[in-house]
Copies of this chain bind each other. A is one copy, B any other.
């Protein structure tokens, strides 16, 4: 049997998007359910594929089927393609399975030539309308199909307007436009060496060629890469009878949504223009009317329109976005598709539709893009104000939300100015752990170096604070307290700037910031997600405040508490430094015993907030030199404060210096060389848990050893931790269950997970470090080439944002398999930054992890993404 390449509208259905493209499938579907659609047919995406594979030559069947369908269309319309009396005009439009607005080519009014123009004038008696259609067609065909520059046509049109002394196209009459037409034909002849093709069949095939070719033009390829559209074989081509909204006052055109896409309200939304073509609405030459006015202007048409809209939504069971045209009192629908919407609208529509029994809870859960939820959880810049603002630089959107404040250039200034009542934005080359308090005080953070998982980015996300990282457009001078942008804008301390952490844009001056609101609908939707999902969702949190926030957002425990964040407090850092500067074990122990009650009280607060839920506490991780000052004046201060010779202090700092601190003396390596640190931290954790227990709270400590790469490291520390913990518990006379486990963040730990699982009661993937080491990328430095890599198509995604399933994922799977071979019920989680990223969550679900852990503000995203993974992978 002959392969079917061409589908007359009605022969396809909405499920055939892959073959007919989104537009084509929906045009068939609409035809089938009785929506008034101008007839036409679709050349399938398969033809596009064959076209490219076959050196841009069509199989004979395609030609044949197009001719057959064209004939059918002529019959249906009672018109003749290229006819002199009643010519059939068609549009030729692209339409792939995924929406790629404006990326590919379109030709309208095809079928016009010198003869049919005359016929159409005779028939309509409207020379202006016909000549206008003809000159638009010549322009579009010349530009899109023949490659003549659009500006050549524009200039010619301008000349004629100048000659006549008018401003607007509408001021030209039929005769003027006839001159334009003649001029356009000359241009085409001159620029291509050939006459404009009068044969409509030639026009048609050249246009089809042009649409298929546009599938692989640069901007389409770029668009697909940027929007991560993969796996498509090509575009379809839709050939449809033209209808005209510009045939007088009973004609018109518009776009509309079945519900309000901004707030989700269940009310028709859109705009229209009478006596106009689609492009007039888009071009904004005349102001369109809100759709509600159509009811007043033409209640009959409005009633029809409303009925169709209801029918469409009920049929598609989702909010629809349509294009329509009224030709001399007859309503036609040219397109329908699922409408884009804000997060707020998405939530409301999904929940409303469940109430309306249009969809069920699972479908509602699938309707929301988890990443979109960020909009609901953070302060946002006012969109209107933002559109008029002065963008001065763009960096990485490291932590979403909007923030406005005066620029400050040090953590101390951030604290000080905030105490004085100012709102500040902290601007740094890069932040370090000693900046924590300043970051906490600031409204937002802007750094010129570092990537999506740099210190600034990670900490800001944890705090739910707006952050733009790696903004290489700016050059920061922390000494003179100012930064300059690439375009030469100078921002000094005290100048107002505004950040959009969702897009990475930096603005000069203030922009209004809008508060977030969590609706009842939102809570309802999250409840449904929780019923469905299999993955647990925990939080990365270091403070009672963060933990409380996380619990409010639905966290089921703490998956990662970084104990070192507690070390930077002004009160404590002194004791921490004393410990580091001690040259004997005794000295260190003495200092550690000063830190212990502080840590114990921190942990107690966490157990209190997380009552009944597990709290995973990671032992000290960063290299010790991070706790020592860097600047000369700070060293001087510390030397006085601690009564240590400055030279000695400098020597010590330089001794602790590392060439590659990420691969240096940190993590469990610290606890192995200084076991007394692990002992103190265990005492603090277990001590706090016992205290909480005594007060009737249900504390569930899980002690996590970082950076294990060799099983003997874990055995060594496991023994120390267990002995310390068991002794304390025994002394207390209470009962307490606790767990000891490891981070899995060193490739070698993955390769030897079977050995490590002998003693480890849980694993938690530290995917930041694991990604760093598996790729050999430092997350602090990789920014400078990852950007280039993405542009050159070497990396599709930043592996620090989304788990690299090919490489890192292989290690993760290996770890799960090896770990469960030794300990079948081992708990396995992920606490790297990717734990809150939907695609990575899907991977975690498929790999059978127990839970994901992410920063508090990502918890709702994770809950929703986990539910979607469950449904998707059933």
Q: Which chain A residues have a beta carbon within 8 Å of chain B's beta carbons?
A: 475, 651, 658-665, 669, 672-673, 707, 709-710, 712-713, 716, 745-748, 751-752, 769, 772-778, 780-782, 784-785, 788-789, 792-795, 804, 806-808, 810-811
Contact = CB atoms under 8 A, between A and B. Distances in A.
Given A660-B661, A751-B810, 5 more contacts: A672-B788, A673-B785, A673-B788, A746-B776, A747-B774
Contact of A709 (B751, B775, B781): B775
A785 B806 CA distance: 33
Contacts of A804: 748
Contacts of A664: 778, 781-782
30 contacts: A475-B651, A658-B778, A659-B662, A659-B780, A660-B663, A660-B780, A662-B776, A662-B778, A663-B663, A663-B778, A665-B784, A665-B785, A669-B785, A672-B785, A672-B792, A672-B794, A709-B774, A710-B794, A710-B795, A710-B807, A712-B795, A716-B794, A746-B775, A746-B776, A747-B747, A747-B811, A748-B775, A748-B776, A751-B810, A769-B776
Query: How many monomers of this protein are in the complex?
Result: 2
- Which A-B residue pairs are the 7 nearest by beta carbons? A663-B778, A660-B778, A748-B807, A664-B781, A659-B780, A658-B781, A746-B776
A663 B776 CA distance: 5
A759 to B, nearest CB: 14
Given A789-B672, A792-B716, A709 B776 contact: yes
A23 to B, nearest CB: 33
Contacts of A778: 658-660, 662-664
A716 to B, nearest CB: 6
A62 to B, nearest CB: 34
Given A748-B775, A776-B707, A795-B710, A663 B781 contact: yes
Nearest to A477: B651
A155 B811 CA distance: 65
Contacts of A748: 774-776, 804, 807-808
- Name the residue in A659, A709, A788, A811 with the highest tally of chain B Cβ atoms < 10 Å from its Cβ: A659
Nearest to A776: B746
Given A672-B792, A774-B748, A775-B748, A665 B707 contact: no
Nearest to A755: B806
Contact of A807 (B669, B709, B789, B793): B709
- Name the residue in A663, A772, A784, A808 with the highest tally of chain B Cβ atoms < 10 Å from its Cβ: A663
Contacts of A669: 785
A564 B780 CA distance: 25
A682 B716 CA distance: 50
Contacts of A661: 659-660, 781
- Name the residue in A712, A776, A782, A792 with the highest tally of chain B Cβ atoms < 10 Å from its Cβ: A776
A661 B475 CA distance: 21
Nearest to A658: B781
Contacts of A792: 672, 716
- Name the residue in A475, A769, A794, A806 with the highest tally of chain B Cβ atoms < 10 Å from its Cβ: A794
A784 B661 CA distance: 12
Contact of A662 (B663, B710, B784): B663
Nearest to A808: B748
Contacts of A672: 785, 788-789, 792, 794
A669 to B, nearest CB: 5
A793 B673 CA distance: 12
A751 B811 contact: yes
Contacts of A773: 663, 747, 773-774, 776
A789 B782 CA distance: 30
Contacts of A716: 792, 794
A626 to B, nearest CB: 12
Contacts of A780: 658-660
A651 to B, nearest CB: 8
A652 to B, nearest CB: 12
Contacts of A710: 775, 794-795, 807
A25 to B, nearest CB: 33
Nearest to A807: B748
A443 B659 CA distance: 27
A477 to B, nearest CB: 10
- Name the residue in A780, A785, A808 with the highest tally of chain B Cβ atoms < 10 Å from its Cβ: A785
Contact of A794 (B713, B789, B806): B713
A814 B853 CA distance: 31
A793 B712 contact: yes
Nearest to A788: B673
A856 B712 CA distance: 36
A788 B773 CA distance: 23
- Name the residue in A660, A775, A804 with the highest tally of chain B Cβ atoms < 10 Å from its Cβ: A660
A706 B610 CA distance: 48
A679 to B, nearest CB: 15
A810 to B, nearest CB: 5
B665 A752 contact: no
A752 B807 contact: yes
A656 to B, nearest CB: 9
Contacts of A807: 709-710, 747-748, 751-752
Contacts of A795: 710, 712
Nearest to A796: B712
A707 B776 CA distance: 8
Contacts of A745: 776
Contacts of A665: 781, 784-785
Nearest to A795: B710
A15 B868 CA distance: 67
- Name the residue in A774, A782, A788 with the highest tally of chain B Cβ atoms < 10 Å from its Cβ: A774
A773 B669 CA distance: 16
A363 B1 CA distance: 76
A744 to B, nearest CB: 12
Nearest to A777: B663
A475 B772 CA distance: 33
A662 B788 CA distance: 19
Nearest to A673: B788
Contacts of A752: 806-807
A807 B780 CA distance: 26
Contacts of A707: 776
A811 B773 CA distance: 13
A789 B710 CA distance: 11
Contacts of A810: 751
Contacts of A781: 658-661, 663-665
A746 B784 CA distance: 19
A2 B807 CA distance: 58
Contacts of A663: 660, 662-663, 772-773, 776-778, 781-782
A773 B777 CA distance: 10
A747 B658 CA distance: 23
Contacts of A751: 774, 806-807, 810-811
